[in-house]
Amino acid sequence: MPFFTLLFVFLLLADICVRLWLASRQIRHVARHRDHVPPEFAARIGLPSHQRAADYTIARVRLGMVERVFDAVVLIGLTLMGGLQWIDLAVARLVDDDMLRQLLLMVAVFAVLGLLGLPFTLWRQFRLEARFGFNRMTPALFAVDAVKGIAVGLVLGVPLAAAILWLMAEAGAYWWLWAWCLWMVFNVLLLFIAPAFIAPLFNKFTPLSDPALAERIQRLAQRCGFALNGLFVMDGSRRSAHGNAYFTGFGKTRRIVFFDTLLARLNADEIEAVLAHELGHFALRHIIKRVVLGFAGALLFFAVLGWLAQQPWFYDGLGVLPRLDGPNHAMALILFFLAVPVFTFMLTPLASWYSRRDEFAADRYAAQQSSSNQLVSALVKLYDDNAATLTPDPVHSAFYDSHPPAAVRIRHLTTA
């Protein structure tokens, strides 16, 4: 067996074993603390709510375990068992034009992945989320969202893929650098068009109708140096009982968006504190830093892909022929897309730590701009409403969680 194949299999097995070990730790830890509310939350969250959060967390983790094993089987089937090779041959029999053949190959592979993952998506939405009272989506709305998502993906993704494939074929040895530039431009354009043109395809956005709250938020945004161009309420309750708020866009499309479920649960002081946290990410330049890091990472990935695409062992090691009756740059993209998560999984704790560091900083900023007590009050309500466990396993949390555990986060806010 080629060395690259052995390395791929070893890392995939390590990925599965680590994930299952962490998941089992999370299940045991949450179950062990299911019948006792942590002292710092005892006055705010009742035992039934705490038990509901524990049961919800365990159910999600168990589903995730099954899904990860299934995904690994699919990955082996597509690569080492010859699935991609078979799809490529089938597409080649149907289409002669090289560009059209490669685009059709990419669409076919992503369609297969989407169809194979659909049962988990349906189970999560209509069984797990419904069991705990979160799902408000009807099957008809799910289908409409799926059709819209596919349409948007095709309209945006196919031209981008075609442009990258053309660069791979025509731009010479440094095609990957031009492709990276294209990728950056594409993502920057999305920042402009997504809030105004894409998001409204899926949700209804209406201006915030509470003038007192709107004025209060405007003053907060001014204090934070945030040039605000709109306050909107999103009909999140059509799909889920979960609540959230976020800011989005760039330049003149910059806006703050509230889930209607959030406005129904929090008072004005708590809403201001939550927004102060979100604006803290902006004021502390977390967003721009993450964008820069994302582009730097993309440059590294494109450079690695530019090298791997020329290595026959990359294709052979993942179960496909390097060439099939003509250019097959699409196969390099697909293989890279499938293999990268396996090779980068062990970097997850680093990314999680970096994100948690920013969350602590945004909390400190929010405490300066509003009220730490109101932020704590809002967070407790959100933890309760979203059935977020208050007792995660420390190792599992350190590995995965982008936000600090509830008790740690609130301790930092109350002792700052």
Give per-residue pLDDT as tens, 97-110.
889 999 999 999 99
CB atoms near residue 95 (< 10 Å)? 14
70-81 average pLDDT score:
96
Give the burial class of 115: count Cβ atoms within 10 A of its Cβ; 0-12 exposed, 13-18 middle, 19 or more buried: exposed
Other residues' Cβ atoms within 10 Å of the Cβ of residue 9: 16
Asked if residues 295 and 184 have their Cβ atoms less than 8 Å apart, the reply is: yes
Q: Please tell me which of 87-96, 190-199, 407-416 the model is most confident about, judged by mean pLDDT.
A: 87-96
- The count of other CB atoms within 10 Å of the CB of residue 220 is 21
Q: Could you tell me what percent of the chain has a pLDDT over 70?
A: 97
Task: Give the pLDDT mean for 201-221.
Answer: 87
Tell whether 412 is in a known binding site. Answer: no
- pLDDT-derived band at 2 (thresholds 50, 70, 90) equals confident
Half-sphere exposure of 30 (CA within 13 A, CB side): 28
Q: How far apart are CA 389 and CA 405, in angstroms?
A: 9
3-class secondary structure, 207? strand
List, as one string, the DSSP characters of 238-251. GTBS---EEEE-SG
Residue 250: pLDDT band (50, 70, 90) is low
Pairing of strands 231-234, 255-259: parallel
Taking 90 as the threshold, does the pLDDT of residue 240 lie above it?
Answer: no
Dihedral-angle region of residue 376 (phi above 0 means left; psi in -120 to 50 means alpha; beta otherwise): alpha
Q: Does residue 170 have an active-site annotation?
A: no
Q: What is the reported pLDDT for 210?
A: 85
Q: Which two tokens stand for residue 21?
A: 């070990």
Which residues are registered as beta bridge partners of 205?
234
pLDDT computed for residue 353 by the predictor: 97
Q: Is 263 exposed, middle or buried (0-12, 13-18, 19+ CB in 10 A)?
A: buried
181 vs 226 pLDDT, higher one: 181
Q: How big is the chain, counted in residues?
A: 416
- Per-residue pLDDT tens over the stretch 260-270: 888 888 888 99
**33 is an annotated ligand-binding site residue:** no
* Residues with Cβ within 8 Å of residue 161, at least 6 apart in sequence: 103, 106, 330, 333
Higher pLDDT, 246 or 19: 19
What CA–CA distances, in Å, run from 125 to 44, 79, 119, 153? 29, 29, 10, 21
Q: Residue 251 above 70 pLDDT?
A: no
Q: Is 51 exposed, middle or buried (0-12, 13-18, 19+ CB in 10 A)?
A: middle
Reported as a pLDDT band with limits 50, 70 and 90, residue 37 is very high
Residues 15, 88, 363, 385: which is the catalytic one?
Answer: 363
Enter the tokens of residue 332.
Answer: 């390099």
Q: For position 249, what pLDDT does the model report?
A: 64
Is residue 359 part of an annotated ligand binding site? Answer: yes
8 Å CB contact between 208 and 233: yes
Q: Are strands 231-234 and 205-207 parallel, antiparallel or unpaired?
A: antiparallel
- Contacts of the segment 208-213: beta carbons below 8 A, 24+ positions apart: 208/232, 208/233, 208/258, 209/233, 212/268, 213/268, 213/271
269: its two tokens? 């002081």
Tokens 């680590």 found at: 18
On the CB side of 244, CA atoms within 13 Å amount to: 8
At residue 182, the pLDDT reads 97
Cα of 29 vs its chain's centroid, Å: 25
Whether 97 is catalytic: no
Cα gap 259→203, rounded to integer Å: 10
- pTM for the model stands at 0.90
